[in-house]
């Protein structure tokens, strides 16, 4: 694409198109080129003939509605970022839109504060090159996503997925009332979820029967969580020991990894754990291994082979590999910036391996 970002704005209201073309084109720091279309068919025709960074689409239009356009655009232009900008206040439309893979869903701003947030978010979407963040609002952290929901006084469930780990944050009338993930609920679960750096999310209809367990305002909750994460990162944790009582050979280069290894080492049935970084030097953190090199090479080769197979079969992103051998059952999976391999005794059931590994992935992702 050209250095200057490009936006396609789709709406059947010509006055709206003229206003937002001027605002986006003249008031965003990146000074994007903004094209407009007043029908779905016209928008798709323009997308076929030119490359764009961002499509902003209304939903309620005659003939071909916005959801149809977004469905086609997501399939034909997978790198195009998609934003819904609509006056329709309907959670079902919101859920369907996020299910299609849109990056953001906005109600048309009615206040200066809402307009400021919208403009800031559009600038982030078109200027960000990294794919880190949460799919649904790729350029935003989970904190930003929660703030957007609370500011709009939304009632919904945020379903967040990080690898194989699934979590939920419950929002009622703009307040966070509960959170859950495997093994945790309430504020501790909320803190664990907010420590995740990447993942995907979708909004689900609210659960009016959900019992409230979190009573802080969302602003106070976010502040307390940020402080707890900072405190946890600064805690000095001694290196865990091997089964023979010796210190871990070389890992424990950062306190967070050492803390997780110490916790995982106490889990039932875990014989060893190895995390291999994606950095050039492939930093290793491990417990329960005298020589991590063979397991590191096995982990890297296994994941590369299965990723290649998945690409050829078009079955989507690799989630997890479970292997059974004479000496171990092994679970392998990508987990954020690291590849994770965990060993279990061969007699342990596959269900136990899956449940334990899911829990370990949740801890490591945090």
pLDDT for 332-366, tens place per residue? 888 777 788 898 888 888 888 888 888 888 777 66
pLDDT of residue 240: 44
Report the CATH number that the domain containing residue 300 is assigned in CATH. 3.30.450.30
Query: Is pLDDT above 60 for 76?
Result: yes
Q: Both 203 and 312 in a single domain?
A: no
Residue 241 in domain: no
β-pair type (156-162, 81-86): unpaired
Bigger pLDDT: 234 or 154? 154
Bigger pLDDT: 154 or 256? 154
- Contacts of residue 254, defined as CB under 8 A and 6 or more positions apart, other chains included, come to none
Supply 182's token pair. Answer: 């495997």
pLDDT digits (tens, 9 = 90+) for 180-216: 987 789 998 898 888 776 667 777 788 889 999 999 8
Residue 240 in domain: no
β-pair type (54-57, 6-10): parallel
Residue 244 in domain: no
Q: Give the number of C-alpha atoms closer than 13 A to the C-alpha of residue 95, restricted to the C-beta side.
A: 13
Domain ranges, residue 19: 1-129
Q: Both 159 and 280 in a single domain?
A: no
Residue 242 in domain: no
pLDDT of residue 278: 63
Q: Both 293 and 344 in a single domain?
A: yes
Task: Please tell me the total count of domains within the chain.
Answer: 3
Q: Looking at 101, 129, 157, which one is the last position of a domain? A: 129
Cβ atoms of 196 and 160 closer than 8 Å: yes
β-pair type (272-277, 284-287): antiparallel
């Amino acid at each position: 694409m050209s250095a200057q970002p490009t936006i396609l704005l789709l709406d059947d209201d010509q006055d709206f198109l003229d206003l937002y073309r001027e605002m986006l084109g003249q008031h965003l720091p990146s000074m994007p080129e903004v094209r407009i279309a007043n029908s779905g068919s016209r928008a798709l025709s323009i997308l076929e003939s030119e490359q764009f960074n961002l499509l902003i689409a209304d939903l309620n239009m005659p003939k071909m509605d916005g959801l149809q356009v977004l469905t086609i655009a997501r399939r034909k232009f997978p790198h195009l970022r998609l934003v819904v900008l609509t006056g329709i206040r309907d959670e079902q439309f919101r859920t369907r839109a996020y299910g299609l893979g849109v990056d953001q869903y906005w109600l048309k701003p009615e206040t200066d504060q809402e307009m400021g947030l919208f403009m800031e978010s559009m600038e982030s979407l078109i200027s960000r090159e990294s794919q880190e963040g949460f799919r649904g609002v790729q350029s935003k952290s989970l904190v930003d996503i929660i703030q957007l929901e609370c500011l709009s006084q939304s009632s919904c469930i945020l379903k967040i997925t990080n690898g194989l780990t699934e979590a939920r944050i419950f929002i009622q009338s703009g307040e966070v009332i509960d959170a859950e993930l495997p093994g945790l609920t309430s504020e501790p679960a909320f803190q664990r979820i907010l420590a995740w750096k990447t993942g995907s999310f979708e909004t689900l209809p609210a659960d009016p029967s959900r019992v409230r367990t979190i009573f802080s305002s969302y602003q106070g909750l976010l502040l307390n969580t940020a402080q707890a994460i900072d405190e946890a990162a600064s805690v000095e944790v001694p290196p865990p020991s091997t089964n023979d009582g010796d210190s871990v050979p070389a890992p424990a280069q950062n306190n967070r990894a050492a803390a997780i290894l110490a916790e995982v080492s106490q889990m039932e049935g875990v014989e060893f754990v190895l995390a291999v970084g994606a950095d050039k030097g492939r930093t290793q953190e491990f417990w329960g291994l005298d020589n991590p090199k063979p397991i590191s090479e096995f982990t890297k080769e296994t994941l590369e082979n299965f990723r290649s197979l998945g690409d050829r079969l078009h079955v989507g992103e690799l989630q997890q590999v479970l292997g059974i051998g004479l000496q171990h059952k092994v679970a392998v999976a990508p987990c954020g910036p690291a590849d994770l391999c965990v060993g279990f005794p061969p007699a342990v059931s596959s269900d136990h391996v899956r449940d334990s590994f899911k829990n370990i992935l949740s801890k490591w992702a945090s």
